Chain A
Amino acid sequence: MFDVLSRMLRTGILTEPLPVPDDSSPAVELQTELQRILGRALCIRHVDAGSCNGCELEIQALNNPYYNLEGVGIKFVASPRHADLLLVTGPVSVNMEEALRRTYDAVPDPKWVVALGGWGACGGIFGTSYASRGSVANIIPVNFTITGCPPSPTSILRGILETVRTPLEPSGTLSRA
Chain B
Amino acid sequence: MSKLPAFIEQHRTQLPGNIASARLCVDREQWIEVANAMHEAGALLLSLWGADDRDRSRCFAVYAAYLLPDMLLVVEYPIHVKTAPRYPGIATLFPSALRMQRGVYDMLGIGVDGRNADTRGWLCHGGWPEKFFPLRRKVDGSQQFAVGSEPYPFVSVEGDGVHEIAVGPVHAGTIEPGHFRFSVVGEKVLRLEERLGYTHKGVAKRFEGLTQSEGHRLAARVSGDSAVAFSWAYCAALEAITQIACPARATDLRALALEHERLANHLGDLGALGNDAGFAFGLTQFSRLKEDLLRANGFAFGARYLFDYVTPGGVASDLPPDGSRLLFEQYSVVEDSVSKLRSIYAEHAGLQDRFREAGRLETGLAQKLGAVGLAARASGIPLDLRVGHPWPPYDWLAPKLIVQSAGDVAARVQVRFDEIFESLRLCRALLAGILAGSIQIPVPPAEPDLLGVGLIEGWRGPVMIALETGPDGAIRRCHAHDPSWQNWPLLEYAILGNIVPDFPLINKSFNLSYSGQDG
Contact = CB atoms under 8 A, between A and B. Distances in A.
Interface string B201-218: 110011000000000011
Contacts of B291: 61, 64-66
Contact of B515 (A4, A14, A53, A79): A53
Interface size class of B (residues with CB under 8 A): 35 or more
B199 A50 contact: yes
A69 to B, nearest CB: 11
B305 A57 contact: yes
Contact of A56 (B174, B206, B217, B222): B174
Nearest to B128: A130
Interface in A128-157: 128-133, 149-150, 152
Given A125-B217, A129-B141, A54 B224 contact: yes
Interface stretch (A25-33, A97-105, A158-166, A167-175): A97-105
B125 A53 contact: no
Contacts of A125: 206, 217-218, 221
Contact of B287 (A7, A65, A90, A133): A65
A130 B143 contact: yes
A64 B386 CA distance: 32
Nearest to A67: B291
B425 to A, nearest CB: 24
Interface in B126-146: 127-128, 132, 134, 141-145
Contacts of A150: 224, 305
B198 A95 contact: yes
Contact of A53 (B128, B281, B290, B514): B514
A126 B202 CA distance: 8
Contacts of A60: 174, 268, 287
A49 B171 CA distance: 11
Given A4-B344, A94-B147, A131 B128 contact: yes
Given A4-B344, A52-B223, A53-B224, A64 B149 contact: no
Given A56-B174, A57-B305, A78-B173, A95 B199 contact: yes
A76 B173 CA distance: 8
B169 A130 contact: no
Contacts of A91: 201
Contacts of A94: 125, 127-128, 145, 147, 200
Contacts of B218: 125
B176 interface: yes
A64 B287 contact: yes
B9 to A, nearest CB: 41
B172 interface: yes
A81 B440 CA distance: 51
A64 B288 contact: yes
A74 B185 CA distance: 38
A149 B206 contact: no
A96 B287 contact: no
A47 B177 CA distance: 8
A76 B175 CA distance: 12
Interface in A41-58: 46-58
Contacts of A127: 142
Contacts of A96: 169, 177, 198-199
B311 interface: no
Nearest to A3: B344
B469 interface: no
Interface in A64-119: 64-66, 76, 78-80, 90-91, 93-99, 103
B197 interface: yes
A61 B287 contact: yes
Interface in B297-321: 304-305, 307
A48 B513 CA distance: 13
A122 interface: no
Contact of B134 (A48, A55, A98, A131): A131
Contacts of A103: 170
A54 B288 contact: no
A8 interface: yes
B285 interface: yes
Contacts of B170: 47, 80, 99, 103
A56 B201 contact: no
Contacts of B305: 54, 57-58, 150
B268 A128 contact: no
B344 A52 contact: no
Contact of B176 (A3, A53, A65): A53
B360 to A, nearest CB: 27
A54 B268 CA distance: 13
B108 to A, nearest CB: 13
Contacts of B198: 50, 93, 95-96, 99
Q: Which 4 A-B pairs have the closest CB atoms?
A: A54-B224, A94-B127, A78-B172, A131-B202
Interface of A: 3-4, 7-8, 11, 14, 46-61, 63-66, 76, 78-80, 90-91, 93-99, 103, 125-133, 149-150, 152
9 contacts: A53-B515, A54-B227, A56-B175, A58-B304, A76-B173, A95-B127, A96-B198, A97-B127, A98-B149
